[in-house]
Amino acid sequence: MMNQLSSWQSYWLIRSNRFRKKRAIKKQLVMLSLDKTTAFYSLIVGGYVFASIFIFNDFMQQFDDYFLIIEQQMGERFWLILTLVPIRYVFQSFRNPGVLITSSEYQLGVLPHSIKKIAYYVAIEKWIMQLVRYVIIGTFIILITPIDAFLIWIYFLLFWTIEVLMTIPQWKLFQAHFMVKLVIFLSLLLVDIVGTIIHQSKLISIAILLTVLVSNFLLRKKLFSQIHWGRVTEVNNYLVWNMPLISRATKIKFRRERKYNIFQNMASRKRPFAYTNIAIHKRLWLQHFRENIEFIIQVIGGLFLAIVILPFVKDLIALFGIAISIHVYTLFAASMFRDRFHSGIVQVLPWDVKSFRNTMKHWSVLGFIPIMIPIIIYAIIQFSWWSISFLLLIITLFIMNLTAKMDNAEALLDKKITDFSLKGVVAFLSLFLIVLCEFQPYISLVSILLLAYIVFQNYNSKRKKHVG
Amino acid sequence: MNNLLIVKNLEVAIKENKLLDNISFTLSEGSVVALVGHNGAGKSTLMKTIMGIQEKNDGEIIIDEKYNQDTNYLDYKKKIAFIPEEPLLMSELTAMQHFQLYGKSYQMEEDELKRRIERYVEGFELQGKLNEYPESLSKGMRQKVQTICAMLPDVPLLLIDEPFMGLDIYAVDYFEEILREKVACGTSILLTTHQIKRVKDLADHFILLQEGEIIHKGKIAEFETIKRRREE
């Protein structure tokens, strides 16, 4: 008779096979991108750079003053940081249960193994791995910086303890209603802000720590009651198998299954659509944006931050940044547009591309607003009255670039591949007008011509549609 | 009879690995052709390539003599309805919303769409499930929803990957009935199947695929059997 595998052995079998599979995928990626000779020379160059920076020259010595400031801040702000760390886990609980039970681990619960036991193994493994990670990072920091070793270990011990203590609260919060999470998150933020203002961070941090301890104690018996396993495994499958580098190299995106969403239970969402393109496409766009929300936030947030920061570097660079951000954002909007047609059921349907484009138009404009805000502030500060024509220039260039890229996306969807789009090149080159405004602000008056061109184009296309 | 679908020297490859090689065949108006072959022979890849989901490396696919996949893709797509092997339903849409999406995509009139939904929903016994999300439906019901979706529009070409997969016997009979109706109205069907007996009365021709190549084609009455892999 065969011996049955223990729960630990079964879990370990899954873990080690997952590790092997991931390693094999990464190995394939390396083989695809590097041959042996390139890998060898890259290793030598990498080794040389590392040695020249950290060993032969005292490269890090020039940053000593900064490290001393960091050390001083670490000492002074210990209690404030202690209050902030738990908020991170509450924030994570919106999208991540914190305990990596994928559908494979969950399957073990269907076999003669207890899912509770498996969950404990997963949590303990996570704590051990995190401890190892902290020890490695801590040692590295101690080796290359002059920061007091004791302070570093205290910090990492603090991070690790909170990681352990927040495992249960995050797990239970993930199961809770969106509003519960939001209220807790905002309350913690508020308490933190108040604590900082009245200089009572120490008291607040002790109170938060005690609350976390009490919640651990109270929740310990309800760990596995009212758990939405479907959602847990859906999110964790994505977290485990979404490998951005691999996706980028193979151009195959790992899509989250997303069987559950907070709007699904709303009766209004279940009602049949008004039988119009607008009503149907609106839902399809919302679904598409929700599926790519991380990517959207990254791009818009990144461009927003770039425009906020660049004016502090140099005005010319800030204007370059604005021009590039228009190019990147419009490229991104066009790529989101095309991507809609290559996912889910839409890929097997006939595409009314024009109608889809019309229904996406206001979303593209809406997404540009966060980027436009720092541009407006910068323009007012930098150009005073000229800011009016400068902003008009930004808007017209945005419309021109968006139109050119969407035209191109439309052509690509119809497989009428255009490698060279004159309109696209002109729209791109005209972005340099933004940079030229640094030397002569009146260049922004070109925007009046551009506006006239856009109005003429719109009138033309409407007339064509009418005749058609 | 005119050729509705022309597939010429089709080649699909991923790097060095050829999934389809030198595939050529035609499908006349109102005919039903069964694509048969072992698992991994290239049947589903061929379906996806005709649909345009899978990129081809070489060859031509033309519908109705003027809709070329390479030059007129958006119009080409309007001529096809596809039933994939696994339902492609969206979690965010109810069954009814899926039907509306199909109706709008194929530019159907609302009244006609409603009439057809009513008829097919009754035939497939899906009453009371119209406002349900796919997750609340059984696998068979999801397959029925996907099948109804593709049956709603009148298109010249129907591509069906494993038509009877997951359907109960009553649904299979009903589906066959609709397919016969469609064929009588001039619709051509290309289907993949492992249930040769089931489609012998429906199909008039077969194409036998093996390792991405056509090794035999002819009238369905001439079709005998697929050899087991180890006998080859």
> What is the C-alpha separation between B27 and B1, in angstroms, rounded?
10
Note the pLDDT of residue B164.
84
Q: Are A229 and A175 in contact (CB under 8 A)?
A: no
B74 lies in the same domain as B119: no
Edge to edge, the sheet with strand B80-83 lists B80-83, B157-161, B188-192, B32-36, B205-210, B213-219
Nearest to B78 among A270, A286, A350 (CB): A350
Q: Write out pLDDT tens, residues A345-400.
A: 899 999 999 999 999 999 999 999 999 999 999 999 888 888 889 999 999 999 99
CATH number at residue B28: 3.40.50.300
Q: Write out pLDDT tens, residues A69-119.
A: 888 888 888 888 888 889 889 988 888 899 989 988 888 888 888 888 899
B18 lies in the same domain as B133: no
CA distance A434 to chain B (A): 37
Mutate to test the interface with A, among B15, B50, B56, B92 (most CBs of A within 10 A): B92
Contact (CB<8Å) A345/B90 = yes
Nearest to B104 among A275, A286, A347 (CB): A275
| Of the residues B102, B123, B154, the one at which a domain ends | B154
Check if B86 contacts A (Cβ < 8 Å). Answer: no
Q: Residue B226: pLDDT above 80?
A: no
CA distance B92 to chain A (A): 7
Contact (CB<8Å) A287/B78 = no
> What is the C-alpha separation between A407 and A412, in angstroms, rounded?
9
Contact (CB<8Å) A283/B135 = no
B185 lies in the same domain as B150: no
B66 lies in the same domain as B22: yes
Angle, alpha carbons A254-A359-A291 (nearest 5°): 20
Note the pLDDT of residue A466.
65
Tell me the CA distances in angstroms from B182 to B156, B177, B205, one per residue in order: 9, 9, 17
Check if B232 contacts A (Cβ < 8 Å). Answer: no
Check if B220 contacts A (Cβ < 8 Å). Answer: no
Q: Write out pLDDT tens, residues B18-69.
A: 889 999 999 999 999 999 988 888 999 999 999 988 889 999 999 998 899 9
> What is the C-alpha separation between A80 and B7, in angstroms, rounded?
69
Q: Are A362 and A356 in contact (CB under 8 A)?
A: no
CA distance A98 to chain B (A): 24
Q: Which amino acid is at A442?
A: Y
Tell me which of A242 and A255 has the higher pLDDT: A242
Domain interval for residue B181:
1-79+158-232
Residue B125, burial from CB neighbour count under 10 angstroms (0-12, 13-18, 19+): middle
B164 lies in the same domain as B216: yes
Domain count, chain B: 2
Q: Residue B117: pLDDT above 90?
A: yes
Angle, alpha carbons B113-B116-B122 (nearest 5°): 135
How would residue B116 be classed by pLDDT, with cut points 50, 70 and 90?
A: very high
Residue B131's CB is within 10 A of a number of other CB atoms, namely 15
B28 lies in the same domain as B75: yes
CA distance B219 to chain A (A): 29
Mean pLDDT along residues A161-190: 91
DSSP code, position A60: G
DSSP code, position B227: P
Mapped onto helix, strand or coil, the DSSP state of residue B194 is coil
Task: Tell me the average pLDDT of chain B.
Answer: 89
Contact (CB<8Å) A280/B101 = yes
Tokens of A81: 């940081």
> What is the C-alpha separation between B79 and A255, in angstroms, rounded?
29
Check if B82 contacts A (Cβ < 8 Å). Answer: yes
Nearest to B96 among A257, A259, A272 (CB): A272
Residues of A in contact with B90 (CB under 8 A): 287, 344-345
How would residue B163 be classed by pLDDT, with cut points 50, 70 and 90?
A: confident
B168 lies in the same domain as B213: yes
Check if A28 contacts B (Cβ < 8 Å). Answer: no
Q: Write out pLDDT tens, residues A118-138.
A: 999 999 999 999 999 999 999
Residues of B in contact with A280 (CB under 8 A): 97, 100-101, 104
Q: Residue A60: pLDDT above 70?
A: no
Nearest to B88 among A273, A344, A415 (CB): A344
